[in-house]
Amino acid sequence: MVLDFITGLGGYLLPFLVVLTVLVFVHEMGHYLVARWNGVRIEVFSIGFGPEIKGWNDSLGTRWKICWIPFGGYVKVFGDSDGASRPDGEALRELSDDERAVSFHHKRLGQRAAIVAAGPIANFVYAIVVLAAMYMAFGQRVTPAEIGRVIENGAGQLAGFREGDIVLSIDGDDIHRFEQFEQTVFLNAERPLSFQIRRAGRELTLNATPKLVEKADRQGIKHKFGDLGVWPANPAIVGKVFEDSPAALAGFKVGDRILAIDGEVVDNFERLQDTVAASKGRRMAVAVLRDGAEMRLHAAARRDVAADETDNSERWLIGILRAQRAPVRLGPGDAVIQATGTSYDMLVQTLAYVGQMISGQRGTEDLGGPIRIAHASGQAAQVGVEQLIMLSILLSLNLGMINLFPIPILDGGHLLFYGFEAILRRPLTERVQEFAFRIGLALVLSLTVFATWNDLINLRVVEFFAGLFS
């Protein structure tokens, strides 16, 4: 049991360290490049903290190093007392004119602000550039904002939604993809929303209030979110047939479009799943469209018990997966525009999520730390490189956003100090800055400990180790 745990840990730890190292390097390289551009001497460029594993000096006198504690990094500019960019007041007063010329703290206010802001901006640029490259290389997957199914007695049905409705806007904000519709509904549980839709060529306004639902994921972590009980329009097209499954034995093939089961029309994949589940193993006559010709196949679903740590649910399956919509490859210009828009949507959603936690509308169970990020990295790596890259994009956006929070010790805290300096026409005193840094450090450490404890509880790490001795 312990050996399995250690082996599994390696499958999560390596992808996590790779992703984290790339993002930290991008962030610190943003600081480094803008500092160099403004004539600042860089003393240390470090990936990680603590004792040095490997290091070297370049021709400009910068020490490049990799350290044992991988959770972060820093660029130490000339004139700092440490990697947190706290000024060394006594040393700064004793600098020669030549040293002042390359000292960070003797640069103009605008230059210092640009150097500090460059790290988070680099993370945003990374996300946009990599996402645009993926759109050009692999294409963009887009689900049209069309309603394919309305759940009976759901909030959507009660509000008047129908299959075939196309969502145009929500509370005045344009909707172009079903993902945008889901994001807005997800974040607005129990809050009335106004939907502009197109139905049979006419535009209508529907008012609906998403229900607050709670659901556990595969790890047993419970999440609360808004739900209207509507699904996108997903044609029931076979994307994969599992070996030795009822579908394989019945002769299903990839690309088959399922039209009806026992004479009942199947207009989307969700209705197919419900019909199969309701069959309870009964033999079904399935009408499919293959290469333009309609044919009939017969299959009986096989019972499967999906058991996780929180629930046992009975399922009936025939052994197929839906076909994914073909991604559309974009040109460079469109790719950058779409990548920028997607990155903006991700940031808005994350900020709204954080705001709901702060206001008490949402619990803190979704606040994750390094362990959950490592877990997500491992899962993404198991799915494929594309999924791992998408996770790195999301994490890069979050890293840039968090670093802009006005907390002393973070980049946003330094920018806050510069804002006061611009207003007061002088820097804050060393004593005030030192006090603020200590508060910021205590706050960051407290949040890190809390998030890590959240991870240990939600991912059942504590429960696992407790079980070893019980």
From 28, 163, 179, 386, active-site residue? 28
Contacts of 269 (CB under 8 A, 6+ apart): 234, 235, 236, 237, 322
Contact 257, 236 (CB under 8 A): yes
Q: Which pair of tokens denotes residue 197?
A: 């839709």
From residue 317, how far is each of 197, 236, 238, 248, 432 by CA, in Å?
A: 35, 15, 14, 12, 65
Residue 331 makes CB contacts below 8 A (sequence gap 6+) with 136
Measured CA to CA, the distance from residue 116 to residue 224 in angstroms comes to 36
- Tell me if residue 28 is catalytic: yes
Q: From CA 395, how far away is CA 392, in angstroms rounded?
A: 5
Helix (H) or strand (E) holding 441: helix 430-458
In the chain, the amino acid numbered 291 is D
What single-letter DSSP state applies at residue 80? B
What gap in Å lies between CA 195 and CA 137, rounded to an integer? 35
CA–CA dist 76, 185 (Å, integer):
44
Q: For residue 133, give Cα distances in angstroms to 205, 278, 393.
A: 38, 44, 12
Q: What's the CA gap between 229 and 168, in Å, rounded?
A: 18
CA–CA separation, 262 vs 150, rounded Å?
Answer: 21
H or E stretch covering 73: strand 63-77
Q: Which residue has the tokens 């005045």?
A: 172
Active site members: 28
